[in-house]
Amino acid sequence: TKGFQVAIDGPASAGKSTVAKLVAQKFGYIYCDTGAMYRAVTLAALQQKIDLNDQVKVAAIAENLPLRFETGDPQQVWLGDQNVTQLIRTNEVAQNVSTVAAIPAVRQAMVKMQREIASQNNIVMDGRDIGTTVLPQAPVKIFMVASAHERARRRYLDNQARGIATQSIEELQKAIELRDQKDSTRKVSPLVQAADAIRLDTTALTIDEVVNEIIKKVKDN
Ligand code: C5P
């Protein structure tokens, strides 16, 4: 039987994953971070020193990706026997992931995996094209946005809280805007709000307020 689906899309660092995890927890649904999947392909290609413009080689990696998610807080991401939970969050991966995610055959392989995961579970899935492409029938679709400055500020505070060396807010904002621009202008499944998605501007909202808003939408269904 097909499960219930909540699709959460939006630009980089809008708080999608934080909120998606909490909504999933509330209902006992699975949480699927599709950005982590594109990041894992990117990391594997970088580790194997593949030219990221070589679409055939990058696609081959995506099609044979030994990717595994392990429940935990935070959720652990594995590539074969390598724990890549931290490695997929580096600047190097962030700077290259949009190039990899624009390759049609890479997207095809990821979307297939994502639909398989969704077919077996009640799920909250976050990404860029969940409501438009991966799960177009999802009964609840949210498009989360916030000003680029606010998103950079949140990322900065988050980095500090985690004790990671962080770029300045201005540098983070530039990187975020560049990634959004690449994701919004690619040919296949660009970052765009689905016609039937609810737009949530979180610039002035707390995490709890956003989570409660989405919980209401799920309960209404
Ligand atoms: O969500 P996150 O910021 O981790 O996503 C990293 C990148 O993966 C995005 O900038 C985008 O290039 C790609 N992505 C995508 N489609 C998705 C999820 C992520 O193209 N559904």
- State in Å, rounded, how far the first CA of the chain is from the last one: 18
The answer, yes or no, to whether any atom of ligand 1 lies below 6 A from the CB of 200, is: no
76-98: average pLDDT: 96
Read off the pLDDT band of 1 (50, 70, 90).
very low
* Protein residue whose Cα sits closest to atom 11 of ligand 1: 98
* Protein residue whose Cα sits closest to atom 5 of ligand 1: 35
131 is in an annotated binding site: no
The answer, yes or no, to whether any atom of ligand 1 lies below 6 A from the CB of 131, is: no
17 is in an annotated binding site: yes
Which residues sit opposite 82 in a β-bridge? 79
Q: Of 11, 3, 17, 14, which is closest to residue 125 (Cα–Cα)?
A: 17
148 is in an annotated binding site: no
Tell me the pTM: 0.96
pLDDT for 201 beyond 90: yes
Instruction: Give the Å distances, CA to CA, from 128 to 34, 107, 133, 195.
Output: 8, 11, 9, 14
| Mutational pocket test of ligand 1: of 17, 67, 90, 128, the residue with most ligand atoms within 8 Å of the beta carbon | 128
* ipTM score over 0.95, yes or no: yes
Which residues sit opposite 77 in a β-bridge? 69
132-147: average pLDDT: 98
pLDDT tens for residues 99-120? 999 999 999 999 999 999 999 9
Q: Check residue 80 and give its pLDDT.
A: 97
Give the atom of ligand 1 at the shortest distance from the alpha carbon of 17.
1
Stretch (H or E) spanning 51: none
* Protein residue whose Cα sits closest to atom 1 of ligand 1: 35
192-211: average pLDDT: 97
Q: Is 200 within 8 Å of 143 (Cβ atoms)?
A: yes
Read off the pLDDT band of 73 (50, 70, 90).
confident
12 is in an annotated binding site: yes
**Cα–Cα distance, 201 to 195 (Å, whole number):** 16
| Tokens matching residue 124 | 């909250």
Q: Of 125, 117, 1, 102, which is closest to residue 42 (Cα–Cα)?
A: 102
What is the residue-averaged pLDDT of the chain? 96
Tokens 């962030």 -> residue = 94
pLDDT tens for residues 20-39? 999 999 999 999 999 999 99
Q: Check residue 211 and give its pLDDT.
A: 98
Strand ranges inside 58-172, DSSP E: 67-70, 76-79, 82-83, 123-127, 140-145
**Cα–Cα distance, 169 to 204 (Å, whole number):** 18
* Protein residue whose Cα sits closest to atom 14 of ligand 1: 35
